[in-house]
Structure 1
């Protein structure tokens, strides 16, 4: 399998998982359809169904689709993009590169956890988008910041998200937070939240980027990575 095919397969799995696990699958379907610049009519024609079916799913008027339909829908989005030259898919091709040794911990929660709960447990301050503190996430990934940012690829970036993008990306050993937020800013897929460890002096640009992207940004005061991971695992 070529690197392009591997990337496409990984992207397919991530999108399907995100839709199936979402509280509002229709919203996620709409998000990805619009991300791929595909109209409801184009998608319906590709699937050989009525555009009203797509509209009903996205609006929540129709019962959540099963995983089989979601997979067909996602494949249709990817195929439409390929017919256009694969512009969107190629956005996930190597941008930066992250080796497996850069991921220090990755877990899915047993149940959705609010950012406020995570903030309290990890002794973190929410420094951007505090109004989204009640937002719930489904997991977290702890990443060695410098190693990740200097070596990441689009394919590897997808692996940071486990089964869903509704998670907190935790960057450790970052002094100002600017580089991780720049990486998140240019990435084609965004996390639900970012948590920073090791901050010496928070760069205002990091906060500004978080506000622009509407990504709640947290900064922990914990003294060690081990303690941080232990706290996250207790949730």
Structure 2
């Protein structure tokens, strides 16, 4: 696990340092690890108000040295908890799933309405959810090659994300797969559909699970480009 922890730490540190809003990015990772400001501050030997100031941009962006200390503290706390977080995501590091077209984490929470606008999409089910990242999935390859465990790995580092299914004809299959799974995304984007083609069972599942649904006919390559530009990317 130590090698995985090192790679994970490098990924987090790079995400924070390169983010346009480092404070918000720190908050995102702290929430992913389910660590309170007070617990993180105690591990760092500082007050919780310092963490709060960074996360709310009341304090100048932290330098690389302090970012490394924050990341190491997150990893150390996770280790003390028996690798509660890293054990979920270790398979994501260095693993490529053919069905995944693109996967990324955001440095801020992006509202579904903003995603719909960027993709020229219809927000047909709306619970005002937000996404902390996205995964673009080739639906045909997913159906033909992916196991239930592979589907779990689509969620990246947080389930509060947008799952984008491409080449969709009715939307029922992706929503049924989500229904039977343990993790639920906050937003689902169905590419290739408009509201007249959406299956009513798919819509009903989204309403029961309180998942926002966006329909778009935008080309996949353009979807990936648009999603990369959201969330401070």
Contact 2:152–2:183 at 8 Å: present in 1 too? no
Give CA-to-partner distance per residue, 1:109-135, whole Å, 9 cap, x none: xxx994243331xxx321233757xx8
1:70 aligns with 67
1:42 aligns with 39
After superposition, the CA RMSD in angstroms is: 4.3
Per-residue deviation at 1:154?
A: 6.5
Change (3 A) 1:154 1:184: closer
Per-residue deviation at 1:62?
A: 0.6
Unaligned regions of 5+ residues in structure 1, if any?
none
What does 1:72-221 correspond to in 2, within 5 Å? 72-92=69-89, 99-105=96-102, 114-120=114-120, 124-129=121-126, 131=128, 141-144=136-139, 145-146=142-143, 147-148=145-146, 150-152=148-150, 157-158=155-156, 168-173=162-167, 175-176=171-172, 177-179=174-176, 181-182=178-179, 186=183, 193-197=187-191, 201=199, 202-211=202-211, 216-220=212-216
- Out of 222, 232, 235, the residue aligned to residue 223 of structure 2 is 232
TM-score of the two chains, using structure 2 as the length reference: 0.63
Cα distance in 1, alignment partners of residues 126 and 101 from structure 2: 26
Give CA-to-partner distance per residue, 1:191-235, whole Å, 9 cap, x none: 7x4312366612411344344xxxx42123x3xxxx722442664
Cα distance in 2, alignment partners of residues 194 and 90 from structure 1: 25
Per-residue deviation at 1:79?
A: 0.7
Aligned residues: 206
Cα distance in 2, alignment partners of residues 62 and 166 from structure 1: 27
Q: Secondary structure at the match of 2:124?
A: strand
